[in-house]
Structure formats: structure tokens, C-alpha cells
Structure 1
Amino acid sequence: FLFDEPLSNLDAKLRVQMRAEIVRLHHRLQSTVIYVTHDQVEAMTMGSKIVIQDSGKIMQAGKPIDVYDSPDNKFVAGFIGSPAMNFLEVRLVDEEDGLWAEGDGFRFPVPSTKAAKYAPHAGGKFFLGIRPEHLEDVDFVKEYDPKYIMKAKVELIEPLGSSVILQILLGQKMLVAQVDSHTGARVGEEIQLVADLENMHLFSTEYPHKSLDRA
């Protein structure tokens, strides 16, 4: 079966219902289904295997969770996930106390779990990718290393009920953080966030922006 964006003209509630119906139909028929969509939520929730294309070129294929956790390149990392992954320009600096990622308005130590993989690239410039859910309000993190605190200005607050989406300004770069629903963040004020760099990604600055984690 071939489905070519069958839900694109439906309203949000009906799209959710029809996604579930198509999945149930697939399980019942046990047939191969090719489903074309520009909606990454549909791809993640419906596919047993997904293929991400850019201008007709296959950028990555695999199980949805594998593509989400281990994107091959910057395009895939930015396409899969909502809100989308943040990207920061950094330089890797090798010092006596370890490897550091330095950028505009921040400086983080690279976790030991990542350092061995990144160390051969010290001195180079990269895109550091971190998902919004890996930036949390410091008030809701029980244990953390102060070196991973990010200070940023709150530009916009979007309450979702189960969480809050913050648009924050770090230096001259706008980022998105998904934090606890009880955050005390206020527009125009500074907030301290803990960056979970155990889940960071590094991508080449040259196209196709390959991931160092997948090298």
C-alpha cells in the first residue's frame, strides 16, 4: 500500500484519530505500507522504519527511536523532534583539565563519555546540538555539576500544561528549552538552566554536516 500525505488536510484532532486507525489497519493486514509525509510526528508515531530525505537524497534510515537518539547529520537532527534540536557554534578546546566546548556566551566541559570520541578533533569548529528537553530549569534538577549551568534571558514562555516551552537568548543565539511546568521563569529575566551534555551531539560545519558521534 502507498499513502501519500493522506492526513494533510485534516484538522489536528482528526489527524490524531486517523493516525491511530491507520496503525491498527496496518497491524491487522500485516502488509507492507509506504507512507509519505512531511510531518515528523506522523513518521515517528506510525513507522516501524523511517527514511528521511533531503531534496530527494536519503539522509538516514532506521527505527524511529534510533534516528531520534543517533542522527547521522545535522539535517536529520533538526528535522526529527518537536520542538526541534538547538544548534550552537562551538570550538573544541583541549586543556589540562579536559576537553571544552566554547561558544558565544558559554563554556562547557565535554562529558567523559564523549571526550574520547571528540578529542582527536580538538581545535576544530562544530555545531553542538542539544534537544530542548535536555535544558532544564536549575530549580528542578536535584544533582548537577555547576559547570553545566547556562545563563540566558527569557524571551517567550509557552505553557503546555505538562511542561513549559521557553524561548531563551544565549549571547546572540535564540534557543528553545522544555522545562518543568512549575518553572518560575519570567519574560525579560535571566534564567539558569542545566545542560545535559551527556545527550549532546557534534556536527561538522561542512555539508552534509556529519555527526562526530556516528563517525
Structure 2
Amino acid sequence: FLFDEPLSNLDAKLRVAMRAEISKLHRRLGATIIYVTHDQVEAMTMADRMFIMNDGLLQQSGSPLEVYKKPDNKFVAGFIGSPAMNFIDSKVTKENGDYFIDTESFKVKIPQAFYSKIADYAGKEVIFGIRPEDIHDKQFFSNATTFNTIKTKVDVIEPLGAEIIIYLNCGKHSVIGKMESRTQVEVEQDMEVVLDMEKTHIFDPKTLLVIV
């Protein structure tokens, strides 16, 4: 069966209901369904296997979780996830045997597990990527250190009930964080946040392919 954006003209509430109905239909029929959509939420929630296309070219295929956790390139990383992954033009620096991401707004330490892949980029430009859900309120993150904590100022707050979206000014750059609603902040307030560096991605600025 081929479904070509069947839910695009429905309102949000009906789209959610119909996603569930199509998933039930798929299980009941046991048939292969090709489902075309520009909505990454539909793709993530309904697919057994995803094929990400851009300008008619296949960018990556895999299970939704595989594509989310291990994107092959910057396009896939930015397409999957809501809000989209934060991207910052940066430089890899090496100090006393350790590697760091230097964005000019902040500097954070790259995990040792990534050293073998990032070593050739020391002193070079890269694109640093981190998802909003991997930016945490320092007071609620147990693994905070001076190497993964940055100082920011709150620009915009979007409460969503169980979650809160916070737009953060880091100096020359801005990032979006997606945190638990127990985080209580005000606009213009200074806020220290922790970047979960184990879940970050670094991309080659020329090829846009993932390095780590």
C-alpha cells in the first residue's frame, strides 16, 4: 500500500487519532505500507524503518531510534527531532591532551570516547550539534562539571505542561533547551545549563557528514 501524505489536511487532534488508526490497520493487515510524509513526528511514531530523502537523494535509512541517535549527516540530524537540533559553527582545540569544542561563546570538553575520531580535526572548524532535550538545568543534572556547564541568559520561555522550551542566549550564539517543567526561570534571568556531551554530534563543515 502507498500512503502519500494522507493526514496533511487534517487538524492536529484528528491527525493524532488517525496516526493510531493507521498503525492498527498496519498490524492487522500485516502488509507492507510505504508512507510518504514531510512530518517527522508521523515518521517517528509510525515507521518500522525510515528512509530520509533530500532533493530526491536517500540520506539515511534505519529504525526511527537509529536515525535519531546516530544521524549520518547534518540534514538528517536537523530533520529528526522537535525542536530541531542546535547547530553552532565551532573549532576543535587541544589542551593538555584533551579535546574541546570552542564556539567563542563557550568551551566544552569532548568525551574521551570520541578522541580517536576527532583527533584529525584539532585546530579545524567543525559544526557542533546538540539536541534541545540534551541541554539540562544544572540544578537537576547530577553529572555537571566545569567542562560541560555553560552560562546563558533566558530569552524566551514556552511552557508545555510536562515540559518547558527555553530559548537561551550564550553570547554570540543562541540555543534551545527542552527541559522538565520543574525548571523555574524567568525571562532575562541568568541560567547555568549542562550539555550532555555524550549525546552530542560533530559534523564536517564541508561534507556535512557526521564525525562523531
Provide TM-score, normalisation by structure 1. Answer: 0.95
Partner of 1:113: 113
Q: CA deviation digits over 1:139-190, x for unaligned, max 9? A: 1113321221111111100111111100111122221001121212210121
Q: Please tell me whether residue 94 in structure 1 is matched to residue 94 in structure 2.
A: yes
- Secondary structure, in 3 states, of the residue corresponding to 1:136? strand
Return the alpha-carbon distance in structure 2 between the equivalents of residues 174 and 110 of structure 1. 20
Q: How does 1:162-181 map to 2 (within 5 A)?
A: 162-181=162-181
Partner of 1:78: 78
Return the alpha-carbon distance in structure 2 between the equivalents of residues 99 and 143 of structure 1. 19
Q: CA deviation digits over 1:21-44, x for unaligned, max 9? A: 001101111111110000000000
Provide TM-score, normalisation by structure 2. Answer: 0.97
Partner of 2:201: 201
Return the alpha-carbon distance in structure 1 between the equivalents of residues 42 and 168 of structure 2. 28
Contact in 2 for aligned 1:86/1:132 (Cα 8 Å) = yes
Q: Does 117-126 or 30-39 show the bigger shift?
A: 117-126
User: How many residue pairs are counted as aligned between the two chains?
Assistant: 212
Q: How does 1:1-215 map to 2 (within 5 A)?
A: 1-207=1-207, 209-213=208-212
Contact in 2 for aligned 1:104/1:170 (Cα 8 Å) = no
Return the alpha-carbon distance in structure 1 between the equivalents of residues 95 and 190 of structure 2. 30
Contact in 2 for aligned 1:132/1:177 (Cα 8 Å) = yes
CA-CA distance at 1:104 after TM superposition: 2.2
What stretches of structure 2 of length at least 5 have no aligned partner? none
Report runs of 4+ in structure 1 exceeding 6 Å deviation: none
**Which letter maps to 2:56?**
G
Contact in 1 for aligned 2:101/2:107 (Cα 8 Å) = yes
CA-CA distance at 1:124 after TM superposition: 1.3
Q: What percentage of aligned pairs have identical amino acids?
A: 45
Q: Does 109-118 or 4-13 show the bigger shift?
A: 109-118
**Which letter maps to 1:34?**
I
What stretches of structure 1 of length at least 5 have no aligned partner? none
- Secondary structure, in 3 states, of the residue corresponding to 1:152? strand
**Which letter maps to 1:212?**
I
- Secondary structure, in 3 states, of the residue corresponding to 2:206? coil
